[in-house]
Structure 1
Amino acid sequence: MELRHLRYFITVAETGGFGRAAKLLHVAQSAISEQIRDLETELGVPLFDRQNRRIQLTYQGEQFLEDARAVMEQATRAVENVQRTQRGEVGKLTVGFFVGGMGPFFSAIIREFRRIYPGIQVSLVEMAPGMQYQALQAGTIDVSFTRTLPAVHASQLRSEPLRTEPFYAVLLRTHPLARQPSVFMRELAGETFILNDRRYSPAVFDKVITLCTEAGFSPKLGATGSVSSGVIALVEAGEGVAILPQGSRILGSEDIVWVPLADKGAVIDMVVAWSPKMERPALKSFLEMVRRRRKVEKM
């Protein structure tokens, strides 16, 4: 049994005659009659009562018509869904992010994407940048808002820049430098540094070490935090000072101050990253929206 058999049967049933169905389908009447006979033979039951001038459905035919319509409707939906999938209008998309990473840009993208593509199921997964790189390669997430890719992952993944964030010195409110409008890294040379654990935030860790080196000193390292909120908590506890990107300021408290770094190059990039092996239509639609919004915000 093929869909063609069902389509011919439904048309004959709805028009009440083989001739009318043939005209509507632009098929020879003999071909339709033959296909209906083949269908009845396969089913083992008569579908039409041919004794009257206007053929009518048998009881079995009436039951079969209901099911045949359902099958054709499902087939039509299947075609529409696969075409929508190809256009990137339906599917699933898992997005990785980290707190303090994107701010209003990230939330606006997610809201807009869900509004324009209601057929795509979007799942958000919070994870540190270091974990995102591995998840992208493993296919656990499809796309992520993260830091610049480390060299070890750059050959396997793709990324595009989104924005550049300045660094701040995170100090206790009682710190001697807390009231300055800005601070140079060299002024912090004698401090104990609280850093993001490199396993979770390699880009931030490496950048802070580079800034210290460029300022002419090797930092005295204290405790580390797996996430920025943990780093800030350690600063609040008096364990040392920290250097964090602007986006982490949403995690601050009244006990600390954020003093801009005055050093040239004291910035770090945010990127959108993905695996080219997982570049499905839904992901392409998402990336196109990210690019459009990035252009608008830069205007």
Structure 2
Amino acid sequence: MELRHLRYFKAVAENGGFARAARLLNVSQSAISEQIGDLEFELGVTLFDRTNRRVRLTEHGEQFLEDALSVLASAEKAVANIKKALRGEIGTLTVGFFVGGTGTFFPAIIKEFRNRFPDVQVSLAEMAPGMQHRALQSGAIDIGFTRPVQPSDATTLRSEYFLTEPMYAVLLKNHPLAKKRTLLIRELADERFVLNERKYSPAAFDKVITLCGEAGFSPRIGATATVGSGVIALVEAGEGVAVLPQGSKVLISDELVFIPLGDRTAYIDLVIAWAPEHESPILQAFLELARKRRKASAIASL
């Protein structure tokens, strides 16, 4: 039994005759009669009462029609789902992100993607940039909003620039420099620094070290933390000062101040990264939406 048999059977049943079904399907009446005959032989029952001018379903035919329609509907759904999958409209997508690196754009992108592709199951995974890079390589996540990919990962990951964030000094409110409107990194040369641990945020760690080096000193590292919220907590506990990107403002408490750095190179990029070997139509659809959002934001800021 093939789907063709069921389609011919359905056409005859719904149109009340072989001739009408033949015209509808654009095949010869004899071909339909032959296929229905083969189907009845295989099932061992008569599906149609052919004694009247109008062909009618037998009792067995009525029962078989219900199941045949269900099978045909499932087949059509399977074909439609494959076409959706090829267009990136069905399946799963896991997006990596980190708090302090999402801004207002991230929830907007996720919401719009879900509205456009309701049949795609979107999962969000919060993890530090360094962890995202390993998760992308293993396939644990499909795409990530993260910091620039390290040279050691450049052969296995692809990334695109998304936006640039200025860097800020994070100080206790009672710090002698807390009332300044801007700071230069060299003004923090005598301070202890709280940094993101390099294993988890290599780009952020390296940026602070580079800024200090350009100002002619090496920072005294008082403590490190795996995520931005940990860095903030350590600064609030009096373990030192920190230098963090603008997005980390969402983590700041009332006990701290966030002062922009005036150094020419005091900025860090946010990128979208993915593993080429795990690319899919769904991933491409998400990328296209993110690119449009980025372009629209750039135009709006002009």
Separation in 2, partners of 1:75, 1:40:
21
Deviations 1:196-245 (A, max 9, x none): 01111111001111111111111111111111111111111111111111
The normalised TM-score by structure 2 is: 0.97
Residue in 2 aligned with 1:113?
Answer: 113
Residue in 2 aligned with 1:141?
Answer: 141
Could you tell me which runs of 5 or more consecutive residues in structure 2 were left unpaired when the two chains were aligned: none
Separation in 1, partners of 2:6, 2:221:
75
SS in 2 for 1:111: helix
- Aligned CA RMSD, in angstroms, stands at 1.0
Q: Does 1:211 align with 2:243?
A: no
SS in 2 for 1:268: strand
Q: Does 1:263 align with 2:263?
A: yes
Separation in 2, partners of 1:191, 1:231:
15
SS in 2 for 1:262: coil
Separation in 1, partners of 2:149, 2:235:
27
Residue in 1 aligned with 2:74?
Answer: 74
Q: How many Å apart are 1:24 and its aligned residue?
A: 1.4
Residue in 1 aligned with 2:189?
Answer: 189
Q: Which amino acid aligns with 2:118?
A: P
Separation in 1, partners of 2:256, 2:234:
11
Q: Could you list the structure 1 runs, at least 4 aligned residues long, displaced by more than 6 angstroms after superposition.
A: none
SS in 1 for 2:205: helix
Separation in 2, partners of 1:194, 1:107:
29
Residue in 2 aligned with 1:50?
Answer: 50
SS in 1 for 2:93: strand
SS in 2 for 1:54: coil
Residue in 2 aligned with 1:234?
Answer: 234
Residue in 1 aligned with 2:279?
Answer: 279
Q: How many Å apart are 1:49 and its aligned residue?
A: 2.0
Residue in 2 aligned with 1:101?
Answer: 101
Q: Identity over aligned residues, as a percent?
A: 64
Separation in 2, partners of 1:35, 1:165:
68
Deviations 1:119-162 (A, max 9, x none): 21111111111110011111111111111111111221111111
SS in 2 for 1:243: strand
Separation in 2, partners of 1:183, 1:42:
86
Q: How many Å apart are 1:58 and its aligned residue?
A: 1.4
Separation in 1, partners of 2:64, 2:71:
10
Separation in 1, partners of 2:33, 2:184:
89
Deviations 1:96-129 (A, max 9, x none): 1000102101011111111111121111111111
Deviations 1:177-201 (A, max 9, x none): 1111111111111111110011111
SS in 2 for 1:180: coil
Q: How many Å apart are 1:167 and its aligned residue?
A: 0.7
Separation in 1, partners of 2:174, 2:163:
32
Q: How many Å apart are 1:52 and its aligned residue?
A: 2.8
Separation in 1, partners of 2:30, 2:258:
85
SS in 2 for 1:282: helix
The normalised TM-score by structure 1 is: 0.98
Residue in 1 aligned with 2:298?
Answer: 298
Residue in 1 aligned with 2:83?
Answer: 83
